[in-house]
Amino acid sequence: MRLLTHNMLSSNIKGVTNGFPLRIEVEKVVEKPVDFNADFLKNMFAKIEWKALVDASRILGYAELPDEAEPSMLDSDDFLKKFHHALLELHLEEGALVCPETDRRFPVTKGIPNMLLHEDEDINNSAAFLNADTV
Amino acid sequence: MVFNGARTRRCLNELGGLIFPAVVLNCVHHPRIFSTMNEIKADGASILCTPVSDVDSHVQQSASVRLDHGCSSSSVQSTPEIEKKYVHHVYDAIAPHFSSTRFAKWPKVATFLNSLPSGSLVLDAGCGNGKYLGLNPNCFFIGCDISAPLINICADRGDEVLVADAVNLPYRTGYGDAAISIAVLHHLSTENRRKKAIDELVRVVKKGGHVLITVWAVEQEDRSLVNKWTPLTQKYLEEWVAPSSLRIRSPSSVTLESIPEAEENGLGEHLKDCNEISSTMKLQENMHLASQSNDHSGAFINGKNIENQQEFFVPWHLPYHRAEVSGASACALANGLAKKDDKKGAVVYNRYYHVFSDGELERLASGMDNAVVVDRFYDKSNWCIILKKTL
């Protein structure tokens, strides 16, 4: 799982008000090179929750990102490369993502998060939802 | 520089001109380490088996299956039984074989993806074997699917993927630039769930972002295909999922005619998808059961209610040499969810489909207050729609 993905993931457990960001439990981190694409980085910069990215990258062992960032920094190659590295090249291979409100662990195995909810956690799990069927 | 997303990803050949959903070009044989199924005993005993899976799946044994058509129920489920049994478990069991037949890129999907601005983040909900992940090398793709075995196949290729439910995406609102849902919604068994899945696709893209949805159509270009599907009725569902009652009601000797199988290893030839060819006995079996049911809905003509029928089982033939001895297929056979076909040397699974009628997809999407329909079309037996998020 890349930090790009982590920055998008949110706990969707029923009743949770703010499930982002998920806390990270690290067991294994892997680095894999990715081709550089400045367009993509600039596009993503606007979407990224910066603090969550910085915190997550540090947990994965990378401390090069500045605490705060502004769009003007995208002109700097050095900044772009660090942003690129943190966003795309660090992988959580084994570990877990933890809901900030419920402490529910979503396992990450072979780099794949499993975000499936149990029945009692799923907002779609309600008689009202299932019975509101107009077919 | 071309942005691949990961150097480890292999590039799939673009065949173009596909065929969706039934005909497959070039069934390529992928050697797997599965044993042949020689000694599987399908005695119909109800065994609680958990398919081999990385996912902590909750398998519930149930004697009958209901489509949730407004039935009040004291036992509430997040995923309806029919989807667990006839979608999730099937894809989990057939994942590698299924993946090997799903490689040709549908041109309309490719056009949509290639039209996206460079640097876009594309979310594929229900990505299956990841066929479209990375199709546009200038975009970054994140795929999710409810089937862990299929997601593993994507991950092996270096794709960024996760296991998730399309009806409840674990994504922050508005993060993606575009989203696609290719041949997914027809596996959802209630209108509410289908509607929710569309809501989710729109939710996860940014304002101004586009969503492409494709689903199987009632109106199939190849009408003879529909004859090979098994239409579902409430009564039939109950009989199907209770193997003992099925044996009582069905003809004692249900012999399947052997239909010459297309050569699976043929390269460079255009072949019919061998998994969509079902025995004509299937139709007769259905007729027999239908004639015995007391309250089948709608008129049956030649064994099926053609006009209003949108609920089907579509068979998948998993060759013995592709099926695991001690895994999902053994469980499925033991539970009566799959059958052996010795003449074809395959385990026969059924996949649940709600095929869409003309205008249905648009109707589902038209009531949204944060998206508009910007294109709708029919192509190769699929209804397709493109939405744009407005708020």
pLDDT in tens, B25-47: 333 343 333 333 333 333 333 33
Q: Which residues contact A103 (CB under 8 A, 6 or more apart)?
A: none
DSSP B301: B
The class level of CATH for A3-134 reads mainly beta
Please provide the DSSP assignment of B219-237 as one string: S-SSHHHHTTSEE--HHHH
Mutate to test the interface with A, among B84, B157, B175 (most CBs of A within 10 A): B175
Residue A131 pLDDT level (bands cut at 50, 70, 90): low
Residue B106 lies in a domain: yes
Whether residue A7 is predicted with pLDDT greater than 80 in this model: the reply is yes
Q: Is the peptide bond before A107 cis (omega within 30 degrees of 0)?
A: no
Q: Between these two residues, B126 and B48, which has the higher pLDDT value?
A: B126
Domain membership of residue B36 (yes or no) is no
B153 is a domain residue? yes
Distance from CA of A55 to the nearest CA of B (A): 18
Q: What is the dihedral of CA B43, B46, B51, B57, to 10 degrees?
A: 170
Residues of B in contact with A34 (CB under 8 A): 4-7
Query: Could you say which of A33, A44, A107 has the minimum Cβ distance to residue B121?
Result: A44
The confidence score (pLDDT) of residue B69 equals 43
The predicted model gives B125-147 an average pLDDT of 96
What pLDDT does B376 receive? Answer: 95
Give me the percent of chain B exceeding a pLDDT of 90.
46
DSSP conformation class of B304: B
Q: What is the pTM of this model?
A: 0.74
Considering only A36-45, B8-17, B346-355, B371-380, which range has the smallest mean pLDDT?
Answer: B8-17
User: Do B5 and A35 make contact, defined as CB atoms within 8 angstroms?
Assistant: yes
| Cβ–Cβ gap B142/A5 under 8 Å | yes
Predicted confidence band of residue B286 (pLDDT cuts 50, 70, 90): very low
pLDDT at B17: 42
Q: Which of A93-97, A111-115, B49-53, B162-166 shows the lowest per-residue confidence on average (mean pLDDT)? A: B49-53
**What mean pLDDT value characterizes chain B?**
72
* A132 Cα to chain B: minimum distance (Å): 6
B144 contact partners, CB below 8 Å, separation of at least 6: A115, B123, B124, B125, B126, B127, B151, B161, B162, B163, B164, B166, B169
Q: What percent of chain A has pLDDT over 70?
A: 93
Percent of chain B with pLDDT over 70: 61
User: Which residues are within 8 A (CB) of B351 and not within 5 positions of it... i.e. 6 or more apart?
Assistant: B86, B87, B90, B91, B187, B313, B314, B315, B316
ipTM confidence score: 0.94
Tell me if B207 is assigned to some domain. Answer: yes
Q: How many residue pairs from chains A and B have C-beta atoms closer than 8 A?
A: 162
- Tell me whether residues B54 and A10 touch, CB distance under 8 A: no
Is residue B299 predicted with pLDDT exceeding 50? no
**Lateral strand order in the sheet of A23-31:** A23-31, A90-98, A105-109, A112-113
Q: Quick check: B164 and B184 in contact, CB under 8 A? A: no
What is the pLDDT, as a whole number, of residue B307?
61
Taking an 8 Å cut-off on Cβ atoms, the answer to whether B56 and A116 are in contact is yes
pLDDT, greater one: B244 or B373: B373
State phi, psi for B222 to the nearest 5 degrees. Answer: -100, 95
Q: Rounded to the nearest 5°, which phi and psi values hold at A84?
A: -55, -45
Q: DSSP per residue over B324-348, as a string?
A: -SSSHHHHHHHTTSEEEETTTTEEE
Q: Specify if B379 maps to a domain.
A: yes
Interface test with chain A among B2, B3, B11, B204, by most A beta carbons within 10 Å: B3
Return the higher-pLDDT residue of A22 and B342.
A22
Residue B212 within any structural domain of the chain: yes
CATH number for the domain spanning B147: value is 3.40.50.150
- Per the DSSP assignment, residues forming a β-bridge with B32 are none
A1-15, A54-68, B162-176, B268-282: segment of lowest average pLDDT: B268-282
Q: Across the interface, do A47 and B206 touch by the CB < 8 Å criterion?
A: yes
Ranges of each domain in chain A: 3-134
Distance (Å, whole) CA A37 – CA A8: 19
For residue B370, is it within any domain?
yes
B236 confidence band (pLDDT: 50, 70, 90): low
What is the spatial distance between Cα B169 and Cα B172, in angstroms, rounded to a whole number?
9
Q: Which residues pair with B168 in a beta bridge?
A: B165
Q: Give A50: exposed, middle or buried? Use CB within 10 Å, 0-12, 13-18, 19+.
A: middle
Cα–Cα distance for residue pair B189/B146, rounded to 1 Å:
15
- Mean pLDDT over the full length of chain A: 93
- Do the strands A112-113 and A105-109 form a parallel or antiparallel pair, or are they unpaired? antiparallel
pLDDT in tens, B75-122: 334 788 899 989 999 999 999 999 999 888 899 999 999 999 999 999
Length of chain B in residues, anyone? 391
Quick one: DSSP state of residue A88? I
Q: Which residue of B has its CA nearest to A99?
A: B170
Q: Mark yes or no for CB contact A39/B192 under 8 Å.
A: no
Of the candidates B187, B145, B185, B151, which has an alpha carbon nearest to the alpha carbon of residue B169?
B145
Question: Which residue(s) pair with B271 in the sheet?
Answer: B24
From A5, A114, A134, residue closest to B160, measured CB to CB: A5
Handedness of CA B215, B216, B220, B222 (dihedral sign): positive
Cβ–Cβ below 8 Å for B160 and A36: no
Question: Who among A43, A116, A132 is closest to B120 (CB)?
Answer: A43
* pLDDT at B377 > cutoff 50: yes
Q: Which residues of A touch B117 (CB under 8 A)?
A: 39, 43
The confidence score (pLDDT) of residue B323 equals: 83
- Beta-carbon separation of A117 and B160 below 8 A: no
Q: Is A133 in Cβ contact with B191 (below 8 Å)?
A: yes
In sequence order, what DSSP letters do the residues of A18-73 get, joined into one string? ---SPEEEEEEEEE------HHHHHHHHHH--HHHHHHHHHHTT---S-SS--GGG
Q: State the residue range of the domain holding B112.
A: 81-221+356-389
Helix H or strand E encompassing B382: strand B382-389
Residues of chain B contacting A110 with CB distance shorter than 8 Å? 54, 152, 155
User: Does the beta-carbon distance from A113 to B163 stay under 8 Å?
Assistant: yes
Q: Do A114 and B54 touch (CB under 8 A)?
A: yes
How much is the pLDDT for A128?
58
Say how far apart CA B378 and CA B360 lie, in whole Å: 12
Work out the pLDDT band at A130, boundaries 50, 70, 90. Answer: low
> Residue A99: which of A79, A81, A119, A115 has the closest Cα?
A115
DSSP assigned state of B355: P
Q: Which of A91, A3, A14 is nearest to A52 (CA)?
A: A3
Least CB–CB distance from A12: residue in B77, B151, B168: B168
User: B116-150: string of b/e by CB count within 10 Å (b at 16+)?
Assistant: beebbbbbbbbbbbbbbbbbbbbbbbbbbbbbbbb
Does residue B314 lie within any of the structural domains? no
CB spacing of A122 vs B120 below 8 angstroms: no
